[in-house]
Amino acid sequence: MRLIMLGAPGAGKGTQAAKVAAKYQIPHISTGDIFRANIKNGTELGKKAKSYMDAGGLVPDELVCDLVADRIAQEDCSRGFILDGFPRTIPQAEALDAAVEKLGTKIDYAVDIEVPDENIIERMGGRRACLSCGATYHIMFNAPKKDGICDTCGGELVLRDDDKPETVKKRLDVYHTQTQPLIDYYSARGNLLEVDGTQGLEDVFASIVGKLGE
């Protein structure tokens, strides 16, 4: 099964992608993981990506697509994979289609976890991170035993800049502009699965599995 996980920042797609990968025993692939693996192994693609990252620039689409194409061609992806955070744009989606076609296969489904913006802003605004050990909490869903104090190390818990409402809103605006068109792209191909992401974590997972089939 070859899958793509779509959803706005904070929609929970990374969590769900990991659960789906475990259930179907397929690799959970994120572009961040691909970059790190190639840089660590000193591959030619990794060296190119590192040169852009070291300069503080974005890795160009063409190089990102080459890295993903190289990853999904590996043996552990022969039974399928789930891509998390890629593609982000229509050109990336078209490049991915071309890459899987070369392998004699296709993308089975793009799973879109739908969560309204206001829910995401509320969710992310409730996150708290420990300055000392990096542990994360949520004031509503996973609150620390003592307000503002980490259960693990006793460090101070803070609202990260990334999770502040104004920052989240900007990230959502970028998402809707860049990535929302992908929903139309996969919908037109008849392989888009839409899931209500406002449910509990296990209910979202059950909905995904129900749509994918056992």
Distance of CA 153 to the CA centre of its chain: 29
Q: Is the confidence at residue 183, as pLDDT, over 90?
A: yes
Could you tell me if residue 170 is inside a domain?
A: no
Q: Is 123 a catalytic residue?
A: no
Report the C-alpha dihedral over residues 204, 210, 212, 214, rounded to 10 degrees. Answer: 120
Could you tell me if residue 189 is inside a domain?
A: yes
Could you tell me if residue 34 is inside a domain?
A: yes
Could you tell me if residue 142 is inside a domain?
A: no
Q: Is 127 a catalytic residue?
A: yes
Our count of domains for the chain comes to 1
Of 2, 13, 123, 128, catalytic:
13
Q: Is 160 a catalytic residue?
A: yes
Residue 117 is predicted with a pLDDT of: 95
Could you tell me if residue 126 is inside a domain?
A: no
> Taking residues 152-161, what's their average pLDDT?
94
Q: Is the confidence at residue 140, as pLDDT, over 90?
A: no
Of 160, 169, 170, 211, catalytic:
160
Could you tell me if residue 144 is inside a domain?
A: no
> Taking residues 105-126, what's their average pLDDT?
94
Could you tell me if residue 197 is inside a domain?
A: yes
State the pLDDT confidence band at 10, using cuts at 50, 70 and 90. confident
Instruction: For residue 197, give the amino acid letter.
Output: G
Domain span at residue 198 reads 2-116+175-212
Could you tell me if residue 128 is inside a domain?
A: no
Of 48, 71, 123, 127, catalytic:
127
Query: How high does pLDDT run on average in the chain?
Result: 92
Check residue 104 and give left, alpha or beta (phi > 0: left; psi -120 to 50: alpha): left
Taking alpha carbons only, the member of 83, 92, 133, 131 closest to residue 110 is: 83
User: Is the full-model pTM beyond 0.75?
Assistant: yes
pLDDT in tens, 26-78: 999 988 889 889 999 999 999 998 898 888 877 888 899 999 999 999 999 99
Least confident range of 50-59, 68-77, 126-135, 162-171: 50-59
Q: Is 71 a catalytic residue?
A: no
> Taking residues 112-132, what's their average pLDDT?
93
Instruction: For residue 34, give the amino acid letter.
Output: I
Q: Is the confidence at residue 214, as pLDDT, over 70?
A: no
User: Any idea what the CATH number is for the domain that residue 78 is in?
Assistant: 3.40.50.300
Distance of CA 116 to the CA centre of its chain: 17
